[in-house]
Amino acid sequence: MDRINSRDRALRERAEAVIPGGMYGHQAVGLLPDDYPQFFEKGEGAHIWDVDGRRYLDFMCAYGPNLFGYANPQIDAAYVRQLGLGDTLTGPTALMVEMAEAMVAMVSHAGWAMFCKNGTDATSMALTIARAHTRRKTVIRAKGAYHGAAAWCTPRPTGIIDTDRAHQIFCDYNDVASLEEAVRQAGDDLACIFAAPFKHDAFIDQAEPDLAYARRVREICDETGALLIIDDVRAGLRLARDCSWANIGVQPDLSSWGKCIANGHPISALLGSEKARKAAASIFATGSFWYQAAPMAAGLETLRLVRDTDYLERITALGQRLRDGLAERATTAGFSFRQTGPVTMPLFLFEDDPDLRKGFCFSSEMLARGVYVHPWHNMFLCAAMTEADIDGALEAAEGAFGVLKRQGPGLAPVAKLAFLSAGAR
């Protein structure tokens, strides 16, 4: 392994000297099996290459941003063309208005759009606007749901003080009684309710939104005047060509977008309904790079592909092919293999695998066969994948299940993860 991983190993050693912990955030050292590469060289279509030249079919899609393929020719041409004209300028270009028009036209609840860089910018801005709109403080959100890495929402509370987290009440996703209890606690101070489009927490099975829960969230917001915020940063455009809850007929007041809206180029967005327009105009929202024109050019091209192609139908069919094929192979190998969430954003967990040793072994064996999967985070399909790619992944899975079956009780525990998974379970 050392031989084939040699450039990656060398970079990790150098990183340890100059990057705290060698790496941080969702790529922090120890969160993935040791044989996973930390550094990559390039991406093209549905594939990534690590720094040791190994190619993988990539089911992480950069944790979401890759929707139409890495280095997509049309999107990147639009990006490069705009770079040549100007990117970060003293003010925005006309593309900002065009991008706002395109998003408002696409998302049925939206009457306006604001642009920022990261998903965290958009969710934080949503919170501020809800508080400005209601002149109230309390936010209700679901336990374990990710909304970004700012002080108010980071999943790791190290360095965070109580007042950063003040005025937040947690409920259980899809549990109406716990939602109503949170609303009771909020009293007359409820500013907003955050909802993920579906439950996509790490380490546990994903869950579709329960219709009764979604409708109750909407009703409560209507009754109290609080704003309903859908955090579509991760799921946006992989479930619908609209806000993800449009699929179940529930419209939010605000929705946050990011990750794939410019196919990997840095831009995120907050969309809102008329009700919230005045409050949105009243807050101070900005950043040095928020008017960047080239990501907007890429975003416009991405949204054109969203409108004009059958990408959603294709990734849905590919996701179903993957799910059915994996279910069949897992059953044949004798594994209880749980595949949850929408087929375009699958998560795999093994039954009876509390410290994820089976998941780590399976993932490593997939990696060795040229398929990059994740042992505890949801994955993503992209429109550059083909049926042949999926069939190749299924063949890899057959081999991986085989190895797992032979190794069985001899698998080593995954110690480094215990602290994280324990918190999430």
Footprint on this chain of ligand PLP (rule: CB under 6 A): 118-120, 123, 146-148, 196, 231, 233-234, 258
Residue number of the CB atom closest to ligand PLP: 119
Nearest residue (CB) to ligand PLP, 109 versus 238 = 238
Contacts of 245 (CB under 8 A, 6+ apart): 195, 197, 209, 214, 230, 251, 252
Question: Measured from the CB of residue 408, what is the shortest distance to ligand PLP in angstroms?
Answer: 34
Question: Measured from the CB of residue 180, what is the shortest distance to ligand PLP in angstroms?
Answer: 24
Nearest residue (CB) to ligand PLP, 99 versus 202 = 202
Nearest residue (CB) to ligand PLP, 230 versus 330 = 230
Residue 140's H or E segment, with its range, is: strand 138-142
Nearest residue (CB) to ligand PLP, 25 versus 354 = 25
- For β-strands 138-142 and 347-350, DSSP reports them as unpaired
Nearest residue (CB) to ligand PLP, 213 versus 350 = 213
Cβ atoms of residues 171 and 116 within 8 Å: no
Cβ atoms of residues 147 and 117 within 8 Å: no
| Tokens 């937040």 -> residue | 168
Question: Measured from the CB of residue 1, what is the shortest distance to ligand PLP in angstroms?
Answer: 31
Question: Measured from the CB of residue 325, what is the shortest distance to ligand PLP in angstroms?
Answer: 27
Question: Measured from the CB of residue 43, what is the shortest distance to ligand PLP in angstroms?
Answer: 18
Residue 5's H or E segment, with its range, is: none
Nearest residue (CB) to ligand PLP, 152 versus 401 = 152
The pair of structure tokens assigned to 204 is: 């546990």
Cβ atoms of residues 400 and 355 within 8 Å: no
- For β-strands 337-340 and 268-272, DSSP reports them as unpaired
Report angle CA 373, 391, 302 to the nearest 5 degrees: 65
Nearest residue (CB) to ligand PLP, 43 versus 119 = 119
Contacts of 197 (CB under 8 A, 6+ apart): 209, 230, 231, 232, 235, 236, 239, 243, 244, 245
Question: Measured from the CB of residue 394, what is the shortest distance to ligand PLP in angstroms?
Answer: 27
Question: Measured from the CB of residue 221, what is the shortest distance to ligand PLP in angstroms?
Answer: 19
